[in-house]
A = this chain, B = another copy of it.
């Protein structure tokens, strides 16, 4: 599986993706699930992908090919909405191409498309396997794809549109940590992009390896912190437990 999360806040975008792909537990590999397309100063587009790797690689390649060969492509359409539409249409084409041979294989994929075109604010879209899509607003400033449930409670509690960029990144790393701990199919290294609104260029993908000291500190501080919270919670439940029948001695039957 995969876990990708994208957060859109006032100051910009924070994107985090794991890199593990697997077809069964003994066929594990590491692939980039976060791609950048840009015309510095004019637009920058990020695509995160989950689902069938053959499908998502085809989608990325077709988007790149279209930039060279087509009249209309993601680097020249006027808005991020048009970009999302092109990506959705491309995903639909690839899935349609392959699904005839199904034989129980799931060819579907989910994508998160985000970025900024000059003249617009940064935008964030979730593209479904059917090729249709939704856009994040201020009420729900994040999207997740892949193994999203383990890491969702943290996002629900902490992130909103006003969260500063570095705290949004910290939250997405904590969310990633919960997922890594509970699900073997999500694995290091992580790819991270922090995009500042109106910079209109990508400073590069930050890759956090297994031994990354910063991420190790985040994981330890979080783990230790919530253990402390739990340990310091009063024994609210002692009353329920005290009310239960005690062990029966052999005589009281």
Q: A234 at the A/B interface (Cβ < 8 Å)?
A: yes
Contact stretch, chosen from A28-36, A135-143, A148-156: A148-156
A196 touches B237 (CB 8 A): no
Q: A194 at the A/B interface (Cβ < 8 Å)?
A: yes
Q: A103 at the A/B interface (Cβ < 8 Å)?
A: no
A158 touches which of B206, B218, B230 (Cβ 8 Å): B230
What residues of B have a CB within 8 angstroms of the CB of A237 in the complex? Answer: 166-167, 169-170, 173, 214, 218
Total number of A residues with any Cβ neighbor in B under 8 Å: 63
What residues of B have a CB within 8 angstroms of the CB of A233 in the complex? Answer: 170, 218, 221-222, 225
Contact with B along A49-79 (1 / 0, CB 8 A): 0000000000000000000000000000000
Beyond the given A156-B182, A221-B234, could you list 11 further A-B residue pairs with CB under 8 A, ordered by the A residue number?
A: A41-B253, A150-B153, A157-B226, A166-B241, A167-B235, A170-B233, A192-B240, A199-B248, A203-B244, A218-B233, A218-B237
* Interface residues, chain A, with chain B CB atoms under 8 Å away: 41, 147, 149-150, 152-154, 156-158, 165-167, 169-171, 173-174, 178, 181-182, 192, 194-203, 206, 214, 217-218, 221-223, 225-230, 232-241, 243-248, 252-253
Task: Please list the 5 inter-chain residue pairs (A to B) with the smallest Cβ-Cβ separation, ordered nearest first.
Answer: A225-B229, A149-B149, A198-B247, A153-B178, A203-B244
